[in-house]
Amino acid sequence: MVSRRVLVVYVLPVIISVIIGSAVLGGILQEPGRELNMMPGNFSVGTSHETIKIIGLSSQYTTTNPVSIQVKVTDSSFDCGDLYITIYSSGNDVVTQGGFFEQCFDGKNTLPIDDTFSQVIDTPGSYEIVAEMVSKGLQNISTRGVFTVK
């Protein structure tokens, strides 16, 4: 008696949900122009002479001197989006990250708009900084830089 209740209360709703969800997703994907894209956007790594570059990054900092940078985006398709700046240690561990949302500009401004990215790294070592811009269409561009802290 208990096993039948467990089947009806717990297992049967899961099976029905999977069947209905599959039918709905299958029906939507049959419509023209619909596709299932598990990896949206195009990811490309930019360099300082391409569409995104880091401005103000020095090669060396002290443990008391903040890492302060700005980002310049010259691609007009990225005139509005989210900016993420991440600093990684030499072991690829995230040391700090800044997110600046809804950065809308005309291509002439540096980012972040009306804000700053400034972080003090108090542990000596080698670090990598990554600036990534994600447009509203979920396209990505990014650039990297390396610096040391002494």
Instruction: Say yes or no: 28 and 49 in one domain.
Output: no
pLDDT band at 28, cuts 50/70/90? confident
- Statement: residue 16 has pLDDT above 60: yes
Written as one string, the DSSP assignment of the chain is -HHHHHIIIIIHHHHHHHHHHHHHHHHHHTSTT----SS-S-EEE--TTTTEEEES--SEE-TTS-EEEEEEE--GGGSEEEEEEEEEETTS-EEEEEEEEEEE--SSSEESTT--EEE---S-EEEEEEEEEEETT--EEEEEEEEEE-
Instruction: Say yes or no: 27 and 55 in one domain.
Output: no
Q: Which of 94, 69, 95, 93 is nearest to 83 (CA)?
A: 69
Instruction: Say yes or no: 124 and 91 in one domain.
Output: yes
Predicted model pTM: 0.64
In which domain, by residue range, is 23 found? 1-36
- Output the six-digit token pair for 12: 């049967």
The residue with tokens 């900092």 is 61
Instruction: Say yes or no: 14 and 74 in one domain.
Output: no
Pairwise pLDDT comparison (41 vs 57), residue with the higher score: 57
pLDDT at 108: 66
Instruction: Say yes or no: 12 and 68 in one domain.
Output: no
Instruction: Say yes or no: 54 and 97 in one domain.
Output: yes
Instruction: Say yes or no: 120 and 55 in one domain.
Output: yes
Structurally, the chain folds into a number of domains equal to 2
Instruction: Say yes or no: 16 and 55 in one domain.
Output: no
Instruction: Say yes or no: 69 and 133 in one domain.
Output: yes
Q: Report which listed range, 42-46, 104-108, 124-128, is most confident.
A: 124-128
- The pLDDT tens digits for 66-114 are 999 999 888 777 778 899 999 999 878 899 999 999 888 766 678 888 8
Instruction: Say yes or no: 81 and 142 in one domain.
Output: yes
CATH for 122:
2.60.40.2550
CB 79 within 8 A of CB 111: no
pLDDT at 50: 67
